């Protein structure tokens, strides 16, 4: 295993010792959805609190973002750190041997399950910021102002629980899919229904030398510099792209940079805070949806926005909403958006867009428009039905963005760097990762 671990280390991968709840813990109450979901729906998290009651739950170890503006932030952070310590002291968590967890996740929205592999990654192989060329990179801009409360939690926490999801460009399906094909042969770790109707999840243990060797060989092939340059015309291999949990990974990185200043070289090499637990997903996985994130403006200056779009080169064509939405899906070198308000709808076309992605084209216009109109508020919406419902209300205006092409996703990040904010979402809120696995981040 040591030799295999050395091979994987070349690709920023570490084989972690994962913690899971012991027998007798109700997993359906232990596992809660990523803390950055339902950020405007406090009632969801209050329902979760009522459902879990006094049962062991990861709810006590995370900070749902709907509470970030409350005045008890410091007290809540202390309770989170204490809950982690108590879970370890009371023996609520068991430590597995070094290995990965193969995850099968069914959601109410997709016919096929999403398949993932829980691994650890080396934060020395990850950078965030402008024009980074590291092995592990963000796909969207990192808002550094969002990091301090997360860093405060991690500094005093003995554990990490991940909702980070990393994407790998594996069209040959060489890493996760062979494991999934024999999942019934692996040791089952958990299999349960998720709360709030979010579907079902199953986990199996991956630890044999044979499986680990196969993963290492597949990583070596995907990360081959020569093949990568032929495919993407880039000297810098992007092996893992951050799909979800960008700010959580940036938090782990920032805290590690603080810690390592006081460490010797040997201590730096194997300190647990140097690594972060993530779920790896193949971008070509049939159960992984890529949804565009739409825009709706409240208290909108409709005439002013349409004039700004026209001035930037946008061409308008009035048409029914459904037809306009369908027209955005056509393959074209143009960037196309559907728009809708209380009294009109139609299609906007940019024949010669400067940006690589449609989200970049429209966001640049919106940023300038909103800067000049402080009373107008923007929100980012999932789903065309929700967008239409909100945009048809008096004073509002909605913009429907086209889907993201999985096949060009890595090429876009490699060529253009991070994408405009709120470009895509990997599924709806209930499809996001639930906290199940944990890992020690202190000695």
For 372-415, the DSSP string reads: T-TT-EEEEE-SHHHHHHHHTSTT-EEEEPPPPPGGGHHHHHHH
Residue 98, pLDDT > 90, answer yes
Question: Rounded to an integer, what distance in angstroms lies between the CA atom of residue 20 and that of residue 26?
Answer: 12
Hunting for tokens 């006590």 — which residue is that? 60
Residue 51: predicted pLDDT: 98
Question: Do 313 and 252 reside in the same domain of the chain?
Answer: no
Domain membership of residue 375 (yes or no) is yes
Residue 292 or 344, more confident: 344
Residue 258, pLDDT > 80, answer yes
CA angle 297, 318, 350 (to 5 degrees): 70
Residue 142: predicted pLDDT: 85
Question: Do 204 and 282 reside in the same domain of the chain?
Answer: yes
Question: Rounded to an integer, what distance in angstroms lies between the CA atom of residue 408 and that of residue 36?
Answer: 27
Lowest mean pLDDT across 242-246, 279-283, 337-341, 427-431: 427-431
Domain membership of residue 416 (yes or no) is no
Question: Do 55 and 25 reside in the same domain of the chain?
Answer: yes
Residue 423: predicted pLDDT: 85
Closest CA to 313 of 349, 356, 364, 366: 349
Residue 259: predicted pLDDT: 97
Question: Do 272 and 303 reside in the same domain of the chain?
Answer: no
Closest CA to 4 of 206, 186, 148, 191: 206
pLDDT tens per residue, range 388-407? 999 999 999 999 999 888 88
Question: Do 77 and 160 reside in the same domain of the chain?
Answer: yes
> What's the pLDDT band for 350 if we cut at 50, 70, 90?
very high
In this prediction, residues 88-109 reach a mean pLDDT of 97
Question: Do 320 and 206 reside in the same domain of the chain?
Answer: no
Residue 356: predicted pLDDT: 78
Question: Do 280 and 314 reside in the same domain of the chain?
Answer: no
Residues 294-311 as b or e (16 or more Cβ within 10 Å = b): bbbbeebbbeebbebbee
> What's the pLDDT band for 53 if we cut at 50, 70, 90?
very high
Domain membership of residue 155 (yes or no) is yes
DSSP H helical ranges for 284-391 = 302-311, 321-328, 358-371, 384-391
Domain that holds residue 17: 2-289+428-440
Residue 39: predicted pLDDT: 81
Does the pTM surpass 0.85? The reply is: yes
Residue 330, pLDDT > 70, answer no
Question: Do 267 and 311 reside in the same domain of the chain?
Answer: no
> What's the pLDDT band for 331 if we cut at 50, 70, 90?
low
Judging by beta carbons within 10 Å of its beta carbon (0-12, 13-18, 19+), is residue 19 exposed, middle or buried? buried
Locate the DSSP E strands across 47-181: 93-95, 100-106, 114-122, 136-138, 159-160, 165-168
Which tokens is 434 given?
């639930």
Question: Do 325 and 386 reside in the same domain of the chain?
Answer: yes
pLDDT tens per residue, range 359-371? 889 999 999 999 9
Domain membership of residue 412 (yes or no) is no
Domain membership of residue 408 (yes or no) is no
> What's the pLDDT band for 189 if we cut at 50, 70, 90?
very high
Q: Using an 8 Å Cβ cutoff, are 336 and 349 in contact?
A: yes
In this prediction, residues 406-433 reach a mean pLDDT of 85
Domain membership of residue 344 (yes or no) is yes
In this prediction, residues 184-213 reach a mean pLDDT of 98
Percent of the chain residues topping a pLDDT of 70: 99
> What's the pLDDT band for 424 if we cut at 50, 70, 90?
confident
Question: Do 257 and 331 reside in the same domain of the chain?
Answer: no
Residue 39 or 231, more confident: 231
Domain membership of residue 372 (yes or no) is yes
Residue 299, pLDDT > 70, answer yes
CATH number (domain holding residue 388):
3.30.1760.10
> What's the pLDDT band for 298 if we cut at 50, 70, 90?
very high
Domain membership of residue 413 (yes or no) is no
Mean pLDDT of the chain: 94
Name the domain count of the chain: 2
In this prediction, residues 134-157 reach a mean pLDDT of 92
Percent of the chain residues topping a pLDDT of 90: 81
Question: Do 64 and 159 reside in the same domain of the chain?
Answer: yes
Question: Do 52 and 146 reside in the same domain of the chain?
Answer: yes
Residue 127: predicted pLDDT: 96
């Amino acid at each position: 295993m040591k030799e295999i671990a050395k091979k994987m280390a070349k690709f920023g991968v570490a084989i972690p010792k994962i913690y899971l709840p012991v027998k007798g813990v109700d997993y359906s109450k232990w596992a809660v959805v990523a803390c950055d979901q339902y950020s405007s729906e406090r009632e969801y998290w209050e329902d979760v609190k009522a459902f879990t009651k006094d049962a062991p739950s990861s709810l006590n170890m995370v900070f749902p973002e709907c509470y970030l503006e409350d005045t008890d932030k410091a007290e809540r952070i202390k309770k989170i750190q204490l809950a982690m310590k108590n879970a370890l002291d009371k023996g609520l968590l068991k430590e597995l041997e070094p290995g990965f967890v193969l995850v099968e996740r069914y959601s109410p929205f997709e016919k096929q399950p999403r398949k993932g592999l829980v691994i650890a990654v080396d934060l020395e192989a990850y950078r965030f910021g402008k024009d980074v060329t590291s092995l592990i990179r963000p796909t969207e801009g990192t808002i550094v102002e969002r990091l301090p409360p997360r860093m405060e939690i991690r500094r005093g926490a003995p554990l990490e629980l991940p909702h980070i999801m990393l994407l790998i460009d594996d069209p040959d399906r060489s890493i996760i899919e062979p494991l999934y094909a024999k999942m019934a042969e692996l040791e089952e770790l958990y299999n349960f229904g998720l709360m709030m109707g979010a579907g079902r999840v199953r986990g199996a243990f991956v630890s044999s030398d044979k499986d680990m060797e196969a993963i290492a060989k597949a990583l070596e092939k995907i990360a081959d510099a020569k093949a990568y340059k032929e495919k993407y015309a880039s000297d810098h291999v992007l092996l893992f792209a951050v799909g979800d949990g960008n700010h959580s990974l940036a938090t782990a990185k920032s805290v590690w940079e603080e810690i390592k200043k006081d460490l010797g070289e040997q201590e730096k090499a194997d300190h647990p805070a140097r690594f972060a637990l993530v779920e790896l997903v193949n971008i070509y996985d049939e159960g992984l949806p890529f949804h565009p994130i739409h825009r709706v403006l409240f208290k909108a200056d409709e005439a002013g926005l349409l004039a700004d779009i026209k001035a930037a080169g946008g061409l308008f064509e009035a048409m029914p909403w459904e037809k306009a939405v369908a027209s955005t899906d056509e393959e074209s070198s143009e960037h196309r958006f559907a728009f809708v308000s209380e009294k009109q709808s139609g299609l906007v076309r940019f024949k010669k867009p400067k940006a690589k992605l449609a989200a970049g084209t429209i966001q640049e216009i919106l940023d300038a428009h909103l800067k000049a109109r402080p009373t107008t508020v923007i929100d980012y919406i999932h789903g065309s039905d929700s967008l239409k419902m909100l945009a048809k209300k008096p004073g509002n205006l909605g913009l429907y963005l086209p889907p993201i092409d999985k096949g060009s996703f890595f090429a876009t990040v490699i060529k253009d760097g991070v994408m405009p904010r709120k470009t895509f979402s990997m599924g709806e809120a209930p499809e996001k990762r639930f906290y199940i696995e944990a890992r020690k981040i202190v000695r």
